[in-house]
Amino acid sequence: SNQLTSVTIPDSVTSIGNWKFDVVVDNNKRITVPYELKNNKYIVDLKKLDSNLDTKKVSNVTNGTYDPTTGVITLNQKPEKGMEISYTYEVSNSHVSKSYTFTLELGEEVQSDANNEIEKDFNAVSDVVYNKLNNIVFEGNIDTDKQFDENVKKSIVIKSKDGEVKLEKTIENTDKYNNGYSGFKATLSKDDLDKIGDIVDASIEIKVENNGETLNLPYKINPINSRMSTGYFDWESNQYKAEDFPSTEIGKNVFSLKIGSNNEILLNNKVKDYGLNLLAYYLNNYRYVLDLGIECGNFDISTKEHQNIFEVKNSNGEIVYTGNAVTFKDGAYKDLKSKTAIQIIVPVEYS
Give 213-270 pLDDT, tens digit per residue.
Answer: 898 999 998 755 444 443 333 334 578 889 889 999 888 899 999 998 888 999 999 9
Contact in structure between 144 and 121 (CB atoms under 8 Å): yes
Query: What CA–CA distance (Å, rounded) separates 185 from 237?
Result: 15
Give the per-residue pLDDT at 95. Answer: 55
Query: What CA–CA distance (Å, rounded) separates 187 from 326?
Result: 30
Give the per-residue pLDDT at 233. Answer: 33
pLDDT digits (tens, 9 = 90+) for 29-75: 556 777 888 777 888 888 777 777 788 889 999 999 999 988 899 99
H or E element, residue 250 = strand 248-259
Tell me the C-alpha to C-alpha distance, in Å, between residue 31 and each of 224, 225, 311: 8, 11, 44
Q: What are phi and psi of 242, to 5 degrees?
A: -55, -40
pLDDT digits (tens, 9 = 90+) for 110-165: 655 433 333 345 789 998 999 887 899 999 999 887 888 999 999 999 999 999 99
Burial class (CB in 10 A: 0-12, 13-18, 19+), 73: buried
- 54 Rama sector, left if φ>0, alpha if ψ -120 to 50, beta otherwise: beta
Give the per-residue pLDDT at 229. Answer: 40
CB atoms within 10 A of CB 334: 8
Give the per-residue pLDDT at 264. Answer: 92
pLDDT category at 105 given cuts 50, 70, 90 is confident
Query: What CA–CA distance (Å, rounded) separates 12 from 17?
Result: 16
Give the per-residue pLDDT at 130. Answer: 92
Q: Is 116 helix (H, G, I), strand (E, B) or coil?
A: helix
Give the per-residue pLDDT at 262. Answer: 84
Query: What CA–CA distance (Å, rounded) separates 278 from 86?
Result: 42
Q: Which DSSP symbol is given to 21?
A: -
pLDDT category at 332 given cuts 50, 70, 90 is confident
Query: What CA–CA distance (Å, rounded) separates 233 from 247?
Result: 17
Report, as an integer, the average pLDDT of 198-227. 85
Query: What CA–CA distance (Å, rounded) separates 53 from 36?
Result: 19
Burial class (CB in 10 A: 0-12, 13-18, 19+), 302: exposed
Give the per-residue pLDDT at 53. Answer: 77
Alpha-helical runs (H) found in the chain: 46-49, 190-196
What percent of the chain lies above the pLDDT cut of 70? Answer: 79
Q: Which DSSP symbol is given to 328?
A: E
22 or 212, higher pLDDT: 212
Query: What CA–CA distance (Å, rounded) separates 188 from 169?
Result: 9
Q: Which of 205-209, 222-226, 332-336 has the lowest mean pLDDT?
A: 222-226
What percent of the chain lies above the pLDDT cut of 90? Answer: 30
Q: What is the dihedral of CA 243, 244, 249, 254, to 10 degrees?
A: 30
Q: Is the predicted pLDDT of residue 204 greater than 90, yes or no?
A: yes
Contact in structure between 50 and 141 (CB atoms under 8 Å): no
Query: What CA–CA distance (Å, rounded) separates 90 from 205?
Result: 31
Q: Which of 12-26, 76-90, 180-194, 202-216 has the lowest mean pLDDT?
A: 12-26
Tell me the C-alpha to C-alpha distance, in Å, between residue 336 and each of 133, 251, 277, 305, 308: 15, 12, 10, 20, 21
- What average pLDDT does the structure give for the chain? 79
Q: Which of 157, 133, 160 is nearest to 269 (CA)?
A: 160
192 or 88, higher pLDDT: 192
Q: Would you mind telling me the total number of residues written for the chain in this entry?
A: 351
Give the per-residue pLDDT at 136. Answer: 95
Q: Is 103 helix (H, G, I), strand (E, B) or coil?
A: strand
Report, as an integer, the average pLDDT of 15-23. 30
21 or 295, higher pLDDT: 295
Give the per-residue pLDDT at 66. Answer: 93
Strands 265-284 and 287-295: antiparallel
Give the per-residue pLDDT at 80. Answer: 81
